């Protein structure tokens, strides 16, 4: 294929690689098959295979389905999963849209204040989320109060509008988008700069408006950049925990990481390890599937991002 095989010590190298492979794969496998055990089984047989596999019988199977049903339905994992999809999906859409729009303008147009605004976005790269967390908490409370006061005289369908940026998906999405913009704008600006200007001129001569040019010509061309940005942002947002912890309180609105953390507390109180393992599997499985399917794309995206940045 490519090169001559490894030099001296290749045996040792294989050993390392194989050992790490086991270290990565085995815990996953253990979690998966352990999710079929009942709490008693955990204590009597922690490492081995669960009853459902070794002695296929009614009881083992029922434990397995019982655990998963408790997790998916009883502990609301279906809800957490769809919440994550909703929040991250909408955030990504907005990030890509608003980010590329801003980056395009910053990259290819001259106007008053362009340099200042670029630097402003760059500053965002060094601002950690933790700095924003606390002031934003109070800011959301104040903004909600303001909106409520503004809309107090408005009556709609016999009731009032009550605003709350806290404990709402909208509030979470807003900060996810805002905080992801610096990085996105940074990467996409660099990207848009590499696109040839003749395309735009050609489109303009054909009578297309600036908007049309952007959406029909420039965006499709910047797909690799968009994919990179989407992947990085997805990885960051799907697993985001701290902001969700602070801003989301109701169980119905929790995202997957919050739900998992919450359930780990409950299952510990109920001493129900089977449930907890099943929940863990449910949390990991979508990521695993997405990864296996898109794994080439993902690694390419990181590659691209790293080398360009």
Partner 1 sequence: MIKRNDFQRPTPNAQRPKRREQKLFILTFLGPALALYALFVLLPAVNACRYSLLRWDGLGTATWAGLHNFGRLLRSGSDYLPAIQHNLFLTFVPGVFILTLALFFAYSIHQGVRGARLFRITFFFPNIISSVATALLWIFLYSTSGVGLLNNLLKRLFHVSQPIAFTETHNLLWAMVPMIVWAATGFYMVLFLAAMENIPETYYEAARLDGASSSHLFRYVTLPLIWDVLATGVVFLVIGGLKMFDGVWIMENGRPSPETHTLSTLMYSRVFEEYNVGHGTAIAVLQFVLVLLASLISMRLMRRERLEY
Partner 2 sequence: MRKSFSILLLLGLVCASCRLQRDDPGRGITLEVAVFEGGYGIEWHKQMARQYERLHPGIHIDLWGDPRVDEKLKPRILRRNPPDLASCGLPVWKLIVAGKLYPLDAALDYPAYGQPNITWRQSLVKGVLSDYQYQGHTYAVPTNLGCWVCWYDRRMFRKHGWQVPRTWGEFTHLCDQIKAAGIAPLAFQGKYPYYAWATLLSLYERLVPFERWYRMEDFLPGAYTDPEFIHAARLVQEMATRYFEPGALAMTHTESQLEWVHGSAAMVFCGLWLENEMKNAIPPGFEMACFPVPVVEGGHGDPHAIYGGGGEMFFAFSDAPHPKEAVDFLKYLLSMDPARAYTRQLDTLSPVRNSERGISLSPDLQSAVDVMHASSRLFSDRIDTLFPEFTRGAEQVGLADLLAGKITPEQFGKELEAGMEDIRRDPDIYKPPPQGVPQ
Among 136, 165, 187, 253, binds partner 2 (CB under 8 A): 165
Q: Are 57 and 51 in contact (CB under 8 A)?
A: yes
Residue 98 binding partner 1, by CB under 8 A: yes
Contacts of partner 1 in 198-237 (CB under 8 A): 201, 209-211, 214, 235
Contacts of partner 2 in 205-234 (CB under 8 A): 211, 215
Among 62, 115, 149, 160, binds partner 2 (CB under 8 A): 160
Phi, psi (degrees; rounded to nearest 5) at 38: -90, 170
Q: Which is nearer to partner 2, 280 or 298 (CB)?
A: 280
Among 114, 115, 270, 297, binds partner 2 (CB under 8 A): 270
Residue 129 binding partner 1, by CB under 8 A: yes
Q: Are 189 and 119 in contact (CB under 8 A)?
A: no
Among 11, 58, 119, 130, binds partner 1 (CB under 8 A): 130
β partners of residue 156: 159
- In the complex, the smallest distance separating the C-beta of residue 260 from partner 1, rounded to whole angstroms, is 5
Long-range contacts of 115-120 (CB under 8 A, 24+ apart): 118/189
Tell me the window of 21-29, 121-129, 159-167, 191-199 that interacts with partner 2 (CB under 8 A): 159-167
Q: Which is nearer to partner 1, 57 or 142 (CB)?
A: 142
The three-class DSSP label of residue 8 is coil
Find the radius of gyration of the CA atoms of the chain.
Answer: 25
- In the complex, the smallest distance separating the C-beta of residue 75 from partner 1, rounded to whole angstroms, is 14
**Dist. CA 212–CA 191, nearest whole Å:** 19
- In the complex, the smallest distance separating the C-beta of residue 60 from partner 2, rounded to whole angstroms, is 20
Q: Are 200 and 217 in contact (CB under 8 A)?
A: yes
Contacts of partner 1 in 238-277 (CB under 8 A): 238-239, 241-242, 246, 256-257, 260-261, 264-265, 273, 276-277
* Count of alpha carbons within 13 angstroms of residue 175, beta-carbon side: 26
Residue 57 binding partner 1, by CB under 8 A: no
> Rounded to the nearest 10 degrees, what angle do helices 129-150 and 169-193 cross at?
120
Going by C-alpha positions, the residue among 222, 227, 234, 232 that lies closest to residue 189 is: 222
Q: Are 71 and 201 in contact (CB under 8 A)?
A: no
Contacts of partner 2 in 232-261 (CB under 8 A): 245-246, 249
- In the complex, the smallest distance separating the C-beta of residue 245 from partner 2, rounded to whole angstroms, is 8
**Dist. CA 110–CA 250, nearest whole Å:** 46
Residues that bind partner 2 (CB under 8 A): 39, 43, 94, 97-98, 101, 137-138, 140-141, 144-145, 147, 151, 156-166, 168-171, 173-174, 211, 215, 245-246, 249, 262, 265-266, 268-272
């Amino acid at each position: 294929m490519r090169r001559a095989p490894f030099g001296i010590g290749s045996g040792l190298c294989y050993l390392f690689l194989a050992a790490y492979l086991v270290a990565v794969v085995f815990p996953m496998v253990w979690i998966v098959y352990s999710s079929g055990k009942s709490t008693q089984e955990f204590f009597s047989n922690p490492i081995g295979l669960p009853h459902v596999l070794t002695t296929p019988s009614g009881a083992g199977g029922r434990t397995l389905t019982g655990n998963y049903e408790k997790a998916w339905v009883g502990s609301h994992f279906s809800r957490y999963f769809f919440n994550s999809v909703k929040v991250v999906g909408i955030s990504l859409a907005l990030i890509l849209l608003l980010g590329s729009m801003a980056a395009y303008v910053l990259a290819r147009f001259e106007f008053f204040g362009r340099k200042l605004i670029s630097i402003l976005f760059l500053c965002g790269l060094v601002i950690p989320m933790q700095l924003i967390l606390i002031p934003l908490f109070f800011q959301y409370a104040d903004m909600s109060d303001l909106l409520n006061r503004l809309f107090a005289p408005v009556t709609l369908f016999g009731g009032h509008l009550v605003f709350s940026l806290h404990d709402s998906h909208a509030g979470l999405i807003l900060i996810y988008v805002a905080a992801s913009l610096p990085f996105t704008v940074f990467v996409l600006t660099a990207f848009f700069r590499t696109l040839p200007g003749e395309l735009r001129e050609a489109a303009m001569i054909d009578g297309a408006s600036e908007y049309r040019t952007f959406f029909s010509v420039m965006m499709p061309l910047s797909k690799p950049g968009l994919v990179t940005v989407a992947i990085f942002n997805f990885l960051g947002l799907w697993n985001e925990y701290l902001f969700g912890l602070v801003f989301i309180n109701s169980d119905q609105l929790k995202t997957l990481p919050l739900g998992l953390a919450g359930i780990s507390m409950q299952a510990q109180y109920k001493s129900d390890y089977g449930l907890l393992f099943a929940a863990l599997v449910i949390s990991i499985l979508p990521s695993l599937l997405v990864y296996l399917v898109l794994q080439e794309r993902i690694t390419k995206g990181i590659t691209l991002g790293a080398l360009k940045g």
